[in-house]
Structures are given as structure tokens and as C-alpha cells.
Amino acid sequence: MTYNLPMNSATKPAPAGAILIADDNRTVGRVIGKILEREGHKVRLVVDGLAALDALLNQPIQLALLAANLPGMNAMEVTNLYRFGSIGRQRLPILGLTSDVTAQTLSAWINAGLDGCIGKPIEPTELLEAVNASLSASGSHPTLVEPPTQLEPVPEGPAIDPRILRDLEKLGGRAFIEDVIEQFVADASRLFPDLETAAAAGDSIAFRDHIHALRSCAGNVGATGLYKMCLAWRAMGPRELAAHGTECVARLETEFARAASALDLCEWREPQIISGSC
């Protein structure tokens, strides 16, 4: 049985897409793959959560089907990390594969960022209806209205969301998270001269491109204050930029310094872990 999917018996076939199937039961994965390949879809098969997350972040995927209890990370954990890591991209539909098709399960999956679930054992007709409905709807989300330009201070709060960094460290280990932090500091530092130049020239297109890049950098390490500032000021027009651009860049630099300091002091680690050096 399929839940929470915008479909009906008249669902039309969607254009062929690249579909990720993540299931530790290789037989089930191959069966699903064959059904989809017969309809012209390209299929990528993986058998654990880490491989699923890597494919979602780095491969051209149009739809993902994730088994509930993947080794390494389950479907909800994979989806939650992917949704955060893909902020700014077009939303990718993700469906769960589970034998526990209760309303409670569906609610938990939706809250984790999945778009619905398909019941096991897999029934080919329902599978294809769910896939067609998801692929057809994936490009139909309404365009987000750009928020009005505002220079009010971002609400006070921690510079870093520790949950994001802890999850990333669990995912790749200490060396990985240290590399991510180092890359964030380097990439963000390189963007500020470009932001200053664009603001001084009143070049709203360049400013928007650079602030979008800075927002992506901030999102990767959970720099929430910096992320919110970039989100609020990404739609500044030439006139607004001429009036407030320099001030915006100065505030961004101050918030970046606050985030970098929190990262340097390892404020995101569990208190009992920090002992002289992180």
C-alpha cells in the first residue's frame, strides 16, 4: 500500500529518470530495479545508508527509494542529512520502502523529510504509480517568494547548530569534520572580497551569486546565524544594495567571525568530550 502520494489510477507515465534504490536486501533491490528499468528508468542500486547519502549528494538523481532500516544510517537519518546538505537545490522526491505502513510511521517519515512511503512486499502497479506521481510532481513545487530585504538583526542564538556537526562527525569521523570546517573557513574568507566589490559597484546579480555561495558554505557546517543573514539579504536590488550593501557585508563578516570562533573553540562538541584541546 502506498501512502501520502498525489496519485490516482489515471496517473500518467512520467519521463524516464535516474532513480536511486537503497535496500540492503539485494534481491528486493534488483526486483525493484528491473520493474523500473522496464519502464525506461535508469537505476542505481546501493545497499547501505552511507552509500545512499553519497549518491544523493553527488549523483544526478531524480528520485530516491530508501528502505527503512538501511545499515549504517536508516532512511530517516539519510534523508535528514541530505535535506540539510542540499539546501538551495530543487527538492528531490524521496520515498521510503517499509512493511510498517502505519499512520504513525508515515508521520515520522514525513517529519524527517521523506515525501511518502511504499509498502512491502512491493506490488509493481503501486510502485510504478508512486514513481510516476513523484517524478511528475518533482518540478511542480511553487516558486518561493523572495523575502523582503531587511536589515534587522538576526535573532540572538548560538553561532553554530551543534547537531549538524555532530551528525557529520558521526558520518565521516574527526578528520572528515576537521576538513569540512577548514574548507568552510577558506571558502567563506574568499567570498567576502567579492561581496564587498559587488556591494560597492551596486552589482545585485554578482552580490546575489556570492551571497548564495556563502549561504551554502554556512549551511554545510550549521552556521545558522550566517545562513539566516544570507537568506534575508539574497534578494537585494541595485538601489537597496547601494544604500545598505556595505553594512550588510560588515554584518556578515562579524557573524562569520563569530561562527569561526565557535568552530575553533569546539563549542559544538559534547561538554564532556572537550578537555584542553578538541
| pLDDT tens-digit map of 76-111 | 999 988 888 787 778 899 999 988 767 777 778 888
pLDDT band at 195 (very low <50, low <70, confident <90, very high): very high
pLDDT at 144: 30
CATH superfamily of 2-137: Response regulator (3.40.50.2300)
Q: Does the pLDDT value for residue 28 go beyond 80?
A: yes
Confidence band, pLDDT 50/70/90 cuts, at residue 197: very high
pLDDT value at residue 152: 52
Q: What is the model's pLDDT at position 271? A: 53
Decide which of 272 and 240 is more confident.
240
**Sequence-ordered list of residues with C-beta below 8 angstroms from that of 21, at least 6 positions apart, any chain:** 29, 32, 33, 36, 43, 44, 45, 46, 65
pLDDT exceeds 90 at position 36: yes
**What pTM value is reported for the model?**
0.49
pLDDT of residue 188: 92
pLDDT exceeds 90 at position 224: no
Residue 138, pLDDT score: 58
